[in-house]
C-alpha cells in the first residue's frame, strides 16, 4: 500500500494558507484515507527547506512520495484539478465543500 | 551625505556606468533594467553584484528565475568572477526560483501570492548581510504565471520588501522592441522610479549597444544613449567616460612632429601626451605628415603604431616608399606596427577595443590614426565623438603622442555636423589645418596651426610644398583672406583667394 507524502509550503498563517491546508487534507481524507501524510512548512520559519524546493509562489504543495514529484501552486480550491495535478487515484471523486460543483 | 540631498547613490562600479548615472543607482531602491534578448541584462545583473563584492565589499543576493545557478556561475567564470568562492565566503547567495523542469510539472489551482519568495529573499539578505540584490529576469516569472495582473501585484510586493530591508536592487525584464514602451509586461508600473534600457540596435547594418537611463526619480542623470561594449575581459564597458581618469601631471616634454616647419609653428614640437588633430581635404598631405611623424619616432628609437583605415598595407608601403620611407624595415626592427583595416570590417566598439588592446600590449609612444573620417561611413557623428573621447582617455593614460587625421569635407563621405567637429577639435590639444587655396590659376597648399594647448604657437598661415623629400612648410601667406572661414561645408571646393585687399585690414596692419 503506497503512502503519500505531501509537503505544503505556506507563508504565515494567512487565510490563504489555512484554506490550502484544509483543502489538501479534505482531498486526502476522501481519496487516500489512512495512507497519507501532510507536512506544513511555513516559509517564514524554515526558509532553508523552502530553498531546497525553490519555492516562489505560496501556497504550494509538493508530492514528495511516491515519485515523480508533482507541484501544485495555489489555495487548492478546485479539488478535481488538484487531484489530477497531484496524480492521485481517480476513484471516489470528492465533493468539495463550499466550492464550485 | 546630507538629508536634503534626498536620494543617495550606490556606485555600481560597472565600468563607466556610474559616470553616466552621476554616481550610481539610487540607494535603497529598485532599478528596472530592460532590454530585448541579447542586450546584456543578465550580465548587468551579475556584474552589479560582482563589482560590489570586488570593489566595495558589499555582499549580494542573486535571485534567478530563468538560468540555474550553475549556469550563472559558469557564465560569470568567463569574466573571472569566482562565484563559488564568493558563496563559500558568504559574499554571494543565490535564491533559486527557477521552475522545476525535471519532475512531474507544476500546475496552478486557485489563488497564490509571492510571499514565499519574498520571505526567502529577506532571509538570504539577512543571512549574508547583503547590500545588493539582483533579480533576473521577470520574463520567466510572467511566462510561468499566466495571470499578469496577479504577477504585477506580487512583484510590487517583492519591490516593497526590497525597499523595506534597505537593499539596492536591479531587476531585469524583457522588452519586445527597441523603441516602444519600456518593458513587455508593463512591469515598469511597479518600479517606475528608476529605469535603465539596454539596446542592441542594428543601424546601418551595424550592431550598436547602448545604455540609456530613462529615469531616476527625484535625481539627476545624464540623458541620451551611451555606447557600451561587452568586453571579454572587462565585462560591460560604457563609453566614453569609462576611461576618463585625469592624469595627475601633464607632460612638459616636447617631441617632434617629424616636420621641422610644423614643430616651429607649434612652438617647438608638441607635448608628449598631446593629441594632435590634422584636418584637410584628401590628397593635401595628411598621410605624408603621419608617416613623417612615425619616422621621427622610429629614428628616436620609439615604438610607433599606425592604424590605417581605408588604405591597404601595400598602398601605404608604396606611398611611403615614394617619400623615401621604408616601412618594411621599420616593421622588421620591431619598432613599428601597422594595422590596416577597412572601417566596415568591425563595429566601432570593436575597433576601439582592438586599438586599446594594441596600445596596452605594444606600448607605443606614438600613434597615428589615418583617417578618422573613414569611420564616419559606419557610425553616427555622436558615436564617433564617443570614440575619440574614449581613445583620448586611453592614449593620455599611456602617454602616447597621437596624431589623428580627418577630412572634414570628405568628398565621398557624409560630413561631420559642425557641432561634432567642434567638439572633437576641443578634445584635442593641437589642431592643425592643411588647406588648398587657389591663386593665380594655381592650387597651393597652406597650413595653419589653430590651437596648441598650453603653449604659444605661430599664428600665421604658411605655404606648404610637397616634393619627393616630403612636406615643407614655407613662407607666410600674406594676401589670402578667409582661408579658415572658407569652410569645410563645401566639399572638395578649394578656398578662393581673395585678391582684393581690405582697406581696414591693411591700415591696422604694419
Vertex B233: Cα angle to B228 and B236 (nearest 5): 25
Would you say residue B506 has pLDDT above 50?
A: no
Residues 6+ apart with CB under 8 A from B110: A19, A20, A23, A74, A75, A76, A77, A78
Would you say residue A94 has pLDDT above 60?
A: no
Strand partners for B338: B306
Among the ranges given (A12-21, B44-53, B326-335, B468-477), the one the predictor scored with the smallest mean pLDDT: B468-477
Per-residue pLDDT band for B86 (boundaries 50, 70, 90) equals very high
Mean pLDDT to the nearest integer, A1-30: 92
What is the tens place of the pLDDT at every residue in B96-131? 999 876 666 788 999 999 999 999 999 999 999 999
Rg of chain B in Å (alpha carbons): 28
CATH of the domain at A51: 3.40.30.10
Residue A65 contacts B, CB cutoff 8 Å: no
Would you say residue B344 has pLDDT above 50?
A: yes
Mean pLDDT to the nearest integer, B357-377: 88
Residue B201 C-alpha, separation from nearest chain A C-alpha, in angstroms: 34
Provide the grid cell at B60.
549580494
Among the ranges given (A54-68, B208-222, B249-263, B423-437), the one the predictor scored with the smallest mean pLDDT: B208-222
Q: Which residues of A touch B145 (CB under 8 A)?
A: 57
Q: Which of B105, B111, B115 sits opposite A11 (nearest CB)?
A: B115
Residue B425 C-alpha, separation from nearest chain A C-alpha, in angstroms: 56
Among the ranges given (A49-63, B20-34, B50-64, B435-449), the one the predictor scored with the smallest mean pLDDT: B435-449
Of B101-115, B242-256, B286-300, which has the strongest mean pLDDT?
B286-300
Would you say residue B251 has pLDDT above 80?
A: no
Q: B38: number of CA atoms within 13 Å, CB side?
A: 8
What is the tens place of the pLDDT at every residue in B54-69? 999 999 999 999 999 9
What is the tens place of the pLDDT at every residue in B419-457? 566 677 777 888 898 888 877 677 888 898 888 877 788
User: For a pLDDT cut of 70, what percent of chain B falls above it?
Assistant: 81
Q: What is the pLDDT of residue B494?
A: 44
Higher-pLDDT residue of B72 and A2 is B72
Instruction: Evaluate whether residue A22 is within a structural domain.
Output: yes
Tell me, what's the ipTM? Answer: 0.87
| Chain A / chain B CB contacts < 8 angstroms | 108
- Would the CB atoms of B109 and A73 count as touching at under 8 Å? yes
Q: What is the mean pLDDT of chain B?
A: 81
Q: Provide the number of structural domains found in chain A.
A: 1
Residue B109 contacts A, CB cutoff 8 Å: yes
Measured between CA atoms, the residue of chain A closest to residue B123 is: A47
- Would the CB atoms of A70 and B105 count as touching at under 8 Å? yes
Instruction: Evaluate whether residue A47 is within a structural domain.
Output: yes
Q: What is the pLDDT of residue B63?
A: 97
Per-residue pLDDT band for B82 (boundaries 50, 70, 90) equals very high
Q: What is the pLDDT of residue B503?
A: 40
Mean pLDDT to the nearest integer, B197-226: 76
Would you say residue B306 has pLDDT above 70?
A: yes
- Residue A30 belongs to domain spanning: 4-85
Q: Grid cell 464550485 — which residue?
A: A100
Mean pLDDT to the nearest integer, B203-215: 77
Residue of B95, B116, B128, B147 to mutate, interface with A, max A Cβ within 10 Å: B116
How are beta strands B401-406 and B366-370 bridged, if at all?
Answer: parallel
Would you say residue B463 has pLDDT above 60?
A: yes
Among the ranges given (A33-47, B22-36, B50-64, B367-381), the one the predictor scored with the smallest mean pLDDT: B367-381
Instruction: Evaluate whether residue A99 is within a structural domain.
Output: no
Would you say residue B491 has pLDDT above 70?
A: no
Residue A19 C-alpha, separation from nearest chain B C-alpha, in angstroms: 10
Q: What is the pLDDT of residue A95?
A: 54
Mean pLDDT to the nearest integer, B394-400: 85
What is the tens place of the pLDDT at every residue in B151-202? 888 988 899 999 999 999 999 988 876 666 666 666 655 556 788 999 988 7
- Would the CB atoms of B109 and A77 count as touching at under 8 Å? yes
Residue A98 contacts B, CB cutoff 8 Å: no
Residue A56 contacts B, CB cutoff 8 Å: yes
CB B14 within 8 A of CB B47: yes
Mean pLDDT to the nearest integer, A80-94: 78
Instruction: Evaluate whether residue A91 is within a structural domain.
Output: no
Higher-pLDDT residue of B198 and B221 is B198
Phi, psi of B304, rounded to the nearest 5 degrees = -130, 145
Angle between helices B41-56 and B69-77 (to 10 degrees): 70
Residue of A56, A76, A86 to mutate, interface with B, max B Cβ within 10 Å: A56
Would you say residue B133 has pLDDT above 90?
A: yes
Q: Domains of chain B by range and CATH?
A: 9-238 (3.40.50.300), 254-508 (3.40.50.300)
Q: Which residues of A touch B141 (CB under 8 A)?
A: 56
Q: Which residues of B touch A18 (CB under 8 A)?
A: none
Instruction: Evaluate whether residue A72 is within a structural domain.
Output: yes
Would you say residue B203 has pLDDT above 70?
A: no
- Measure Cα distances from B378 to B203, B351, B403, B428 in Å: 9, 11, 21, 22
- Would the CB atoms of B108 and A54 count as touching at under 8 Å? no
Mean pLDDT to the nearest integer, A44-51: 92
Instruction: Evaluate whether residue A69 is within a structural domain.
Output: yes
Amino acid at each position: 500500500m503506497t503512502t503519500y507524502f505531501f509537503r505544503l509550503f505556506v507563508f504565515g498563517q494567512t487565510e490563504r494558507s489555512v484554506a490550502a491546508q484544509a483543502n489538501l487534507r479534505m482531498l486526502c481524507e476522501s481519496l487516500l484515507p489512512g495512507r497519507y501524510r501532510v507536512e506544513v512548512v511555513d516559509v517564514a520559519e524554515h526558509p532553508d527547506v523552502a530553498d531546497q524546493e525553490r519555492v516562489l509562489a505560496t501556497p504550494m504543495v509538493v508530492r514528495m512520495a511516491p515519485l515523480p514529484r508533482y507541484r501544485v501552486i495555489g489555495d487548492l480550491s478546485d479539488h478535481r484539478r488538484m487531484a489530477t495535478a497531484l496524480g492521485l487515484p481517480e476513484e471516489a471523486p470528492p465533493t468539495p465543500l463550499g466550492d464550485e460543483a | 551625505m546630507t538629508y536634503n540631498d534626498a536620494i543617495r547613490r550606490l556606485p555600481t562600479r560597472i565600468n563607466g556606468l556610474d559616470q553616466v548615472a552621476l554616481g550610481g543607482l539610487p540607494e535603497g531602491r529598485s532599478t528596472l533594467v530592460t532590454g530585448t534578448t541579447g542586450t546584456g541584462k543578465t550580465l548587468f545583473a551579475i556584474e552589479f553584484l560582482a563589482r560590489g563584492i570586488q570593489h566595495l565589499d558589499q555582499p549580494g543576493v542573486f535571485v534567478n528565475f530563468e538560468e540555474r545557478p550553475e549556469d550563472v556561475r559558469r557564465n560569470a567564470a568567463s569574466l573571472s568572477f569566482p562565484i563559488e568562492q564568493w558563496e563559500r565566503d558568504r559574499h554571494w547567495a543565490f535564491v533559486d526560483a527557477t521552475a522545476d523542469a525535471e519532475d512531474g510539472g507544476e500546475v496552478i489551482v486557485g489563488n497564490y501570492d509571492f510571499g514565499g519568495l519574498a520571505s526567502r529573499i529577506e532571509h538570504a539578505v539577512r543571512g549574508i548581510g547583503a547590500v545588493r540584490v539582483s533579480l533576473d529576469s521577470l520574463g520567466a516569472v510572467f511566462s510561468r504565471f499566466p495571470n499578469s495582473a496577479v504577477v504585477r501585484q506580487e512583484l510590487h510586493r517583492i519591490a516593497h520588501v526590497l525597499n523595506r530591508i534597505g537593499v539596492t536592487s536591479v531587476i531585469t525584464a524583457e522588452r519586445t522592441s527597441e523603441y516602444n514602451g519600456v518593458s513587455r509586461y508593463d512591469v515598469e508600473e511597479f518600479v517606475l522610479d528608476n529605469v535603465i534600457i539596454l539596446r542592441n540596435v542594428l543601424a546601418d547594418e551595424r550592431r550598436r549597444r547602448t545604455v540609456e537611463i530613462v529615469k531616476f526619480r527625484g535625481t539627476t542623470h545624464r540623458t541620451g544613449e551611451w555606447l557600451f561594449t561587452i568586453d571579454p575581459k572587462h565585462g560591460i564597458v560604457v563609453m566614453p567616460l569609462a576611461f576618463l581618469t585625469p592624469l595627475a601631471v601633464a607632460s612638459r616634454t616636447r617631441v617632434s612632429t617629424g616636420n621641422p616647419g610644423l614643430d616651429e609653428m607649434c612652438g617647438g614640437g608638441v607635448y608628449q601626451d598631446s593629441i594632435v588633430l590634422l584636418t584637410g581635404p584628401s590628397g593635401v598631405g595628411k598621410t605624408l605628415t603621419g608617416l613623417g611623424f612615425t619616422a621621427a619616432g622610429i629614428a628616436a628609437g620609439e615604438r610607433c603604431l599606425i592604424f590605417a583605415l581605408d588604405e591597404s598595407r601595400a598602398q601605404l608601403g608604396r606611398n611611403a616608399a615614394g617619400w623615401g620611407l621604408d616601412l618594411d624595415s621599420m616593421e622588421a626592427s620591431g619598432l613599428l606596427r601597422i594595422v590596416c583595416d577597412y572601417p566596415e570590417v568591425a563595429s566601432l566598439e570593436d575597433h576601439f577595443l582592438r586599438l586599446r588592446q594594441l596600445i596596452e600590449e605594444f606600448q607605443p609612444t606614438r600613434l597615428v590614426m589615418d583617417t578618422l573620417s573613414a569611420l564616419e561611413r559606419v557610425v553616427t557623428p555622436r558615436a564617433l565623438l564617443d570614440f575619440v573621447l574614449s581613445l583620448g582617455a586611453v592614449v593620455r593614460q599611456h602617454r602616447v603622442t597621437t596624431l589623428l587625421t580627418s577630412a572634414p569635407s570628405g568628398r565621398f563621405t557624409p560630413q561631420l555636423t559642425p557641432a561634432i567637429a567642434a567638439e572633437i577639435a576641443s578634445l584635442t590639444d593641437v589642431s592643425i589645418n592643411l588647406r588648398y587655396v587657389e591663386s593665380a590659376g594655381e592650387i597651393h597648399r597652406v597650413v595653419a596651426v589653430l590651437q596648441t594647448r598650453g603653449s604659444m604657437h605661430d599664428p600665421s598661415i604658411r605655404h606648404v610644398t610637397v616634393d619627393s623629400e616630403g612636406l615643407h612648410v614655407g613662407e607666410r601667406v600674406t594676401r589670402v583672406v578667409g582661408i579658415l572661414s572658407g569652410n569645410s561645408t563645401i566639399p572638395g571646393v578649394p578656398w578662393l583667394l581673395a585678391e582684393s585687399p581690405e582697406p581696414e585690414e591693411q591700415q591696422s596692419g604694419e
